[in-house]
Chain A
Amino acid sequence: MAAHLKKRVYEEFTKVVQQQHEDLSAKKLRLTKPSKSAALHVDLCKATSPADALQYLLQFARKPVEVESVEGVVRILLEHYYKENDASVRLKIASLLGLLSKTAGFSPDCIMDDAINTLQNEKSHQVLAQLLDTLLVIGTKLTENPSVRMRLVEVACKLQLHERGLKLQQAIYCQACKLLADDYEQVRSAAVQLIWVLSQLYPESIVPIPSSNEEIRLVDDAFGKICHMVSDGSWVVRVQAAKLLGSMQQVSSHFLEQTLDKKLMSDLRRKRTAHERAKELYSSGEFSSGRKWGDDAPKEEIDTGAVNLIESGACGAFVHGLEDEMYEVRIAAVEALCMLAQSSPSFAEKCLDFLVDMFNDEIEEVRLQSIHTMRKISNNITLREDQLDTVLAVLEDSSRDIREALHELLCCTNVSTKEGIHLALVELLKNLTKYPTDRESIWKCLKFLGSRHPTLVLPLVPELLSTHPFFDTPEPDMDDPAYIAVLVLIFNAAKSCPTMPALFSDHTFRHYAYLRDSLSHLVPALRLPGRKLVSSPVSTSITPNEDPSQQFLHQSLERVYNLQHLDPQGVQELLEFTIRDLQRLGELQSELAGMADFTATYLQCQLLLIKALQEKLWNVAAPLYLKQNALASAAAKQILEETYKMEFMYSGVESRQVVIIHHMRLQAKALQLIVTARTTRGAEPLFGMCEKFLQEVDSFQRCFISELPHMQGSFVDKLLDLMPRLVTSKPSEVVKILQTTLRQSTFLHLPLPEQLHRATATIIEPTGESDNPLRFTSGLVVALDVDATLEHVQDPQGTVKVQVLYPDGQAQLIHPKPADFRNPGPGRHRLITQVYLSHTAWTEPCQIEVRLLLAYNSSRSKASAKIPKCTWSDSTEALPLSENGIEGTIPFSKPVKVYIMPKPARR
């Protein structure tokens, strides 16, 4: 590699450039009189080497150029620039361009675009530096020029210079400020950006306030100016300004707080804002009745002189931004609020009212954005009751995205009073009855709500459980989602509030035991008096490694790996038990489900392999018992399927696991080969199969060469030792060798990665409960809304498909659009798409099945990602096709039945 690099470096410096200028000189020039440009052109064309060209350019630079011919000369130079291969000549041309643009009376706007273009394409650093110099010259010259385009170009140029890492001078700040009042929106927009850049570069330098002796920090001044642009005439500028405000965190806090401040007045008398009134009402303990006349009546008189209607500063910038008519501006303002509030807790407190107000926006996107924003800053805030009221009103929103975002928000909200908790619970239960599909999300939300506010929940418990000091109350229905929701809230609060269980009635304890079992992810372990401890007392503070279930998992695996030399019967039984245990563990402990399933699948493969090898068929010498092999070949097939599942359905699988999976697959293929060999007569078909198998062994070796040392005594290890013999032997011998190796090989230990999650999908819609068939005319299409949540799916856009199975066995595979996937959180995706159905006429309604598939392609797998590296020097043809081309799908959701009825078309 080093040699290779070196070679390239030499190439760069010693390149002999053959310039093909000779034939160019034949070109006819349109200029009638011999001008400077023509002469230069001819000169340059005559140049046979870079040195020559450089000489001509140097000569040329000594003579002055008349104004009229500057443009022509510049064109010629640029033309040569593009063709020139030699960096030094390009450098000289770049410097000449700078010189020429200084010529009095010449306006360099015509070469601006070219200069910027060259900047983008240039590779040599020296030439780049020179070009930037040239641009600076052009830029300074353009400042004197009035045309819009030039101003635009100038600002753009400065921004580009900044992006290229050149430090801008502070002196251009004033200029940029003047451009804020430009007639053209592009110029204003660019100027806003430039000011922002400067404010980031020189935040602490001091600038004077015009028409006064005072001075302020540049970042504050810039902040005020950008705030002012939030009420610009063009929405493009407004969006830009609002966005940039968010990233100006260095601004001083009193400027920041001004952005939310708007002095209200009515007939020149100071008025309180609705926000202030609400706050006052709240602090005085009174409920807003809205029935009092004049609670918004203007109060004190305002000194007319003191009112400043157009504040020079930041006053009310966000108030305006959040009320803007374009939702883009509103979103940008909300985003900016979010960023600023994250860095300043006091600002977060102040902007809360405004954010809550945004929950009523008419555009869903804005509502969603403000809910997300609120969630992000929720650590810094506590919701007042009236604010909570507004927040909770959004639960009635018909959009699932919004409701779920709100649940997430409630998960991390601080509520100040017990009434607040009660209100939240009531609203969430209302939400639950209105939209039963939100169940999981609401339970989760209540879990956090409970664990955050144990002391606020405590006084509510008797009411929530409807217990009575004297009377026994009827036992609530345990399957009622609303009751479960209440219990989730209470149990989570009880976790850190030991006095609470005393308030529970008998059936509550029973329900606790049931829920702890069935919804273990929502119900924590509690220490209950007079009850058998469900878990050890320390369980609340243990680290995951010490978690008993995790220990159990490891112990059972240890057991399996250690006891592999038992008699076959014993091994089989042990495997069966362990698989059962693991599966049960996966159901109980959702966080270990991935791990448990993964290992269970692996053990299952092993079990199948052992079973297949125990078949009596192997003891019969002749391949006579054709039916007997059914189990063995089925086992081989199933192992193959399971290995694909293991490889592609789990996120977090590392290369160590991939090796084991591939190894298992190799064993399955060996098994297949043996079975085929025993059941077919004649050796001809075996030749091809053997060869293919050996190729696979070869490619396995190449891909996982680094892992081979860990695989002592394994199937492949033994096989590789026998490789020279295998290659030369006949198929029948190969089969024999394989058979013995397969039996003798040891069981590989499957190391577990840190995190392993199984990809799962749940179809929320269609629910499959409808008895009314979906009727449509045959031959036409009907759109079926599909709504599903996907968890732990990597790259769902590429892999997730929807499959529709018709009763006649016809299957249809639909690729959802990338835009149909949303990403509400890490590792989670949501698919909302439409599936088009069509069929010929049926006589009666029938059910079709809709399910989600995970498509895989073995060439995309983690293992084969290495192949190109291994085969760098070899020809890629050596790669076995089987490794490349296997594509398939794994169903990973429960199928949902949809009742449909294509009617015959009426004629």
Chain B
Amino acid sequence: MPEIKVTPLGAGQDVGRSCILVSIAGKNVMLDCGMHMGYNDDRRFPDFSYITQNGRLTDFLDCVIISHFHLDHCGALPYFSEMVGYDGPIYMTHPTKAICPILLEDYRKITVDKKGETNFFTSQMIKDCMKKVVAVHLHQTVQVDEELEIKAYYAGHVLGAAMFQIKVGCESVVYTGDYNMTPDRHLGAAWIDKCRPNLLISESTYATTIRDSKRCRERDFLKKVHETVERGGKVLIPVFALGRAQELCILLETFWLCLQPLECFMQDNPFRSSGNGQGMKKTWSSCQATVCKELWGIRFSVDNASWKWKDDKYAHADAKGIMQLIRQAEPQNVLLVHGEAKKMEFLKQKIEQEFHVNCYMPANGETTTIFTNPSIPVDISLGLLKRETAIGLLPDVKKPKLMHGTLIMKDNSFRLVSPEQALKELGLAEHQLRFTCRVHIQDPRKEHETVLRVYNHLKAVLKDYSVQHLPDGSITVESILIQATAHSEDQGTKVLLVSWTYQDEELGSYLTSLLKKGLPQSTS
């Protein structure tokens, strides 16, 4: 049974360190190669030794796909390609390719220069790694090798974020990366066609959330900013994820606010630890206070309006969004990653209940196997096809049709040819298989008269077939031969010998059963 195997090395029932291995029809693909913010030891990178213990990974992976430039999706890339060793292609969209090295360099600086860690990848490694990157356009089908093809769809999470369809033959997997089904001001909503993949691997960060309309939030935020600026105050907006800053700028610009004193602090670390928003909030509040006091020495207030931008479900699909994407793509199976186990459980149950498809949520290192039922294309020789269609009715799309032929499986290809051609190609001699059967008939007349009676009878019954009476006293119906001899002991009993080839089995058995019923009482 053909199968698709999925093993998350990271992001299985967890957020961060996205790295998912997919084996589909003999091809191995790695989806994302991220780092984990929560750890500073070896656990921050995916455990690549799962793939192989020794040596380079190039032989074991056909390609690597990076969905977008956030570090939890691409942070481990230089380590993986340069330090562990991988020389195959790495696919990402053009914007991702442009922004990714900047973020990696930032990440390296903080880890090495600030925290003083050693044994970390270097700037040169980032450069070398980026050389292996192949940029793709949205909706462009890229042929990785002869069988494996990938295609990027718009994901709307950040600039350049994409969902990827991985396809081998007629089996396919869609990996969403992070996506957003609610359009922002600078990003549209994720969109996919009805590609009906065997498996959809979806993120599920906000599996248990249905978010409010974005408009109220925008209005709230603008009002706060406006009021502050009107009072002559300054606005400090901490922006967590890279990409949110643009959204804010567009929003503010649209409202023609002159915000010269607006300072945008881009946080170093574009990743949020899930679940403890409140804690982060407090840290940031105190941080804000310090900054304000130090910089301007003025009183300040912390408004929670700005917090909603981080806290709320921006840039990720909420439960409804995930369901909407599943509805759009119509997959046969769904696999959830990039979310907390408890929340996934809820969503899994909902998906199974509402779409009646299997839903999986493997933990890190756990392999999920999905059985597929791919249709296998077979080449048929034109001669055979013509011959077969000439016999029966015209082929109908809806009805299966039976045909005789020989299936040759050679050199990884399937061909359906006529038996003669198959024999010729394989250099085999033809063997004939004949069935013979004796039928006893009570008939006191002479042999040739019996034959004549049989002949007349068959001629009357089998109108559509050519029934012939040969001069040597035998009868042929198509290729079936019938001979009559008197029984050696009982002259009143005639023995009819019926002989047919394997191919005419159907007609032959019909004839014998017909003859066994006996001849009709002669009228003449």
Q: Which residues of A pack against B, CB within 8 Å?
A: 105, 146, 183, 231, 233, 262-268, 271, 273-275, 278, 290-293, 296, 304, 307-310, 316, 319, 322-325, 354, 357-358, 360, 362, 390, 396, 398
Tell me, yes or no, whether B300 is within 8 Å of chain A by CB.
no
Assess the B304–A357 pair: CB atoms within 8 A: no
Assess the B305–A290 pair: CB atoms within 8 A: yes
**Which residues between 323 and 370 of chain B lie within 8 Å of chain A, taking CB atoms?**
323-324, 327-328, 343, 346, 349-350, 354
Assess the A360–B215 pair: CB atoms within 8 A: yes
Residues of B with C-beta under 8 A to A358: 215
Tell me, yes or no, whether B189 is within 8 Å of chain A by CB.
yes
| Contact for A233 among B182, B212, B328, B350, CB less than 8 A | B328
Q: Report the Cα distance A481→B218, complex, angstroms.
A: 34
With A105-B394, A310-B323 given, is the CB distance from A290 to B217 under 8 Å? no
Question: Residue-by-residue, is B183-216 near A (CB-CB < 8 Å gives 1, otherwise 0)?
Answer: 1010011011110000000000000111111111
Q: How far is the CB of B176 from chain A (nearest CB, A)?
A: 15
Assess the B189–A357 pair: CB atoms within 8 A: no
Assess the B214–A323 pair: CB atoms within 8 A: yes
Assess the B210–A263 pair: CB atoms within 8 A: yes
| Contact for B189 among A146, A264, A325, A398, CB less than 8 A | A325
Assess the B354–A265 pair: CB atoms within 8 A: no
| Contact for A310 among B214, B254, B354, B397, CB less than 8 A | B354
Tell me, yes or no, whether B519 is within 8 Å of chain A by CB.
no
Q: Which residue of A lies closest to B320 (CB)?
A: A309
Residues of A with C-beta under 8 A to B319: 265, 309
Assess the B216–A267 pair: CB atoms within 8 A: no
Q: How far is the CB of B311 from chain A (nearest CB, A)?
A: 9
Q: Report the Cα distance A702→B109, complex, angstroms.
A: 97
Assess the B346–A268 pair: CB atoms within 8 A: yes
Q: Report the Cα distance A8→B399, complex, angstroms.
A: 57
Tell me, yes or no, whether B421 is within 8 Å of chain A by CB.
no
| Contact for B209 among A183, A266, A275, A290, CB less than 8 A | A266
Assess the B209–A274 pair: CB atoms within 8 A: no
Q: Which residue of B lies closest to A265 (CB)?
A: B210
Tell me, yes or no, whether B117 is within 8 Å of chain A by CB.
no
Assess the A290–B303 pair: CB atoms within 8 A: yes
Residues of A with C-beta under 8 A to B213: 262, 273-274, 319, 322-323, 354, 357
With A233-B194, A323-B214, A360-B215 given, is the CB distance from A293 to B304 under 8 Å? yes
Residues of B with C-beta under 8 A to A307: 350
Q: Which residue of B lies closest to A396 (CB)?
A: B256
Q: Report the Cα distance A268→B319, complex, angstroms.
A: 10
Q: Which residue of B lies closest to A269 (CB)?
A: B208
Assess the B210–A291 pair: CB atoms within 8 A: no
| Contact for B220 among A268, A274, A292, A322, CB less than 8 A | A274
Assess the B194–A323 pair: CB atoms within 8 A: no
Tell me, yes or no, whether B224 is within 8 Å of chain A by CB.
yes
Question: Residue-by-residue, is B150-194 near A (CB-CB < 8 Å gives 1, otherwise 0)?
Answer: 000000000000000000000000000000001101001101111
Assess the B212–A271 pair: CB atoms within 8 A: yes
Assess the A325–B183 pair: CB atoms within 8 A: yes
Q: How far is the CB of A715 from chain B (nearest CB, A)?
A: 65
Assess the B256–A268 pair: CB atoms within 8 A: no
Assess the A274–B208 pair: CB atoms within 8 A: no
Assess the A309–B328 pair: CB atoms within 8 A: no
Assess the B208–A267 pair: CB atoms within 8 A: yes
Q: Report the Cα distance A357→B208, complex, angstroms.
A: 25
Assess the B183–A290 pair: CB atoms within 8 A: no
14 contacts between A and B (CB under 8 A): A264-B211, A267-B208, A268-B343, A290-B304, A290-B305, A291-B301, A292-B304, A304-B349, A310-B324, A310-B327, A324-B183, A324-B189, A357-B215, A362-B254
Top 9 A-B residue pairs of the complex, sorted by shortest distance between their CB atoms: A325-B183, A274-B216, A357-B215, A268-B208, A325-B188, A309-B323, A233-B328, A325-B189, A273-B212
Q: How far is the CB of B228 from chain A (nearest CB, A)?
A: 11
Assess the A291–B182 pair: CB atoms within 8 A: no
| Contact for A309 among B215, B354, B397, CB less than 8 A | B354
Assess the A233–B254 pair: CB atoms within 8 A: no
Assess the A309–B350 pair: CB atoms within 8 A: yes
Residues of A with C-beta under 8 A to B301: 291
Q: How far is the CB of A172 from chain B (nearest CB, A)?
A: 22
With A309-B323, A309-B354, A360-B215 given, is the CB distance from A265 to B208 under 8 Å? yes
Assess the A183–B194 pair: CB atoms within 8 A: yes
Question: Residue-by-residue, is B313-326 near A (CB-CB < 8 Å gives 1, otherwise 0)?
Answer: 00000011001100
Q: Report the Cα distance A183→B192, complex, angstroms.
A: 12
Could you say which interface size class chain B belongs to? 35 or more
Q: Which residue of B lies closest to A362 (CB)?
A: B254
Q: How far is the CB of A182 from chain B (nearest CB, A)?
A: 9
Tell me, yes or no, whether B219 is within 8 Å of chain A by CB.
yes
Assess the B217–A233 pair: CB atoms within 8 A: no
| Contact for A390 among B182, B219, B320, B350, CB less than 8 A | B219
Residues of B with C-beta under 8 A to A273: 212-213, 216
Q: Report the Cα distance A304→B354, complex, angstroms.
A: 13
Residues of A with C-beta under 8 A to B256: 396, 398
Q: How far is the CB of A397 from chain B (nearest CB, A)?
A: 9
Q: Which of B209, B215, B343, B394 counts the most chain A CB atoms within 10 A?
A: B215
Assess the A362–B185 pair: CB atoms within 8 A: yes
Q: Which residue of B lies closest to A292 (CB)?
A: B304
Q: Which of B212, B224, B397 counts the most chain A CB atoms within 10 A?
A: B212
Residues of A with C-beta under 8 A to B219: 357, 360, 390
Q: Report the Cα distance A264→B354, complex, angstroms.
A: 19
Assess the B254–A304 pair: CB atoms within 8 A: no
Q: Report the Cα distance A268→B192, complex, angstroms.
A: 27
Residues of B with C-beta under 8 A to A390: 219
Assess the A267–B209 pair: CB atoms within 8 A: yes
Q: Which residue of B lies closest to A67 (CB)?
A: B394
With A183-B194, A267-B208, A362-B254 given, is the CB distance from A231 to B324 under 8 Å? yes
Q: Report the Cα distance A265→B183, complex, angstroms.
A: 20
Question: Residue-by-residue, is B293-305 near A (CB-CB < 8 Å gives 1, otherwise 0)?
Answer: 0000000010111
Residues of A with C-beta under 8 A to B188: 325
Q: How far is the CB of B274 from chain A (nearest CB, A)?
A: 11
Instruction: Knowing that A310-B320, A323-B213, A360-B215 touch, tell me 10 more A-B residue pairs with CB under 8 angstroms.
Output: A233-B191, A233-B328, A263-B210, A273-B213, A291-B301, A304-B346, A309-B320, A309-B323, A358-B215, A360-B219
Assess the A291–B323 pair: CB atoms within 8 A: no
Q: Which residue of A lies closest to B221 (CB)?
A: A290
Residues of B with C-beta under 8 A to A231: 324
Assess the B210–A262 pair: CB atoms within 8 A: yes
Q: Which residue of B lies closest to A291 (CB)?
A: B303
Q: Which residue of B lies closest to A144 (CB)?
A: B398
Q: Which residue of A lies closest to B220 (CB)?
A: A290
Q: How far is the CB of A526 from chain B (nearest CB, A)?
A: 38
Q: Report the Cα distance A316→B192, complex, angstroms.
A: 22
Q: How far is the CB of A124 from chain B (nearest CB, A)?
A: 38
Residues of A with C-beta under 8 A to B208: 265-268
Q: Report the Cα distance A271→B394, complex, angstroms.
A: 62
Q: Which residue of B lies closest to A288 (CB)?
A: B220
Q: Report the Cα distance A357→B223, complex, angstroms.
A: 13
With A291-B303, A291-B304, A323-B183 given, is the CB distance from A264 to B218 under 8 Å? no
| Contact for B216 among A233, A310, A324, A357, CB less than 8 A | A357
Q: Report the Cα distance A45→B328, complex, angstroms.
A: 55
Assess the B212–A323 pair: CB atoms within 8 A: no
Q: Which of A262, A308, A322, A360 counts the most chain B CB atoms within 10 A?
A: A360
Assess the B212–A264 pair: CB atoms within 8 A: yes
Q: How far is the CB of B146 from chain A (nearest CB, A)?
A: 28
Q: Report the Cα distance A720→B173, complex, angstroms.
A: 94
Q: Report the Cα distance A357→B324, complex, angstroms.
A: 24
Residues of A with C-beta under 8 A to B223: 290
Q: Report the Cα distance A325→B180, complex, angstroms.
A: 12
Residues of B with C-beta under 8 A to A324: 183, 189
Q: Report the Cα distance A233→B212, complex, angstroms.
A: 21
| Contact for B218 among A183, A296, A360, CB less than 8 A | A360
Residues of A with C-beta under 8 A to B189: 324-325
Q: Report the Cα distance A293→B327, complex, angstroms.
A: 37
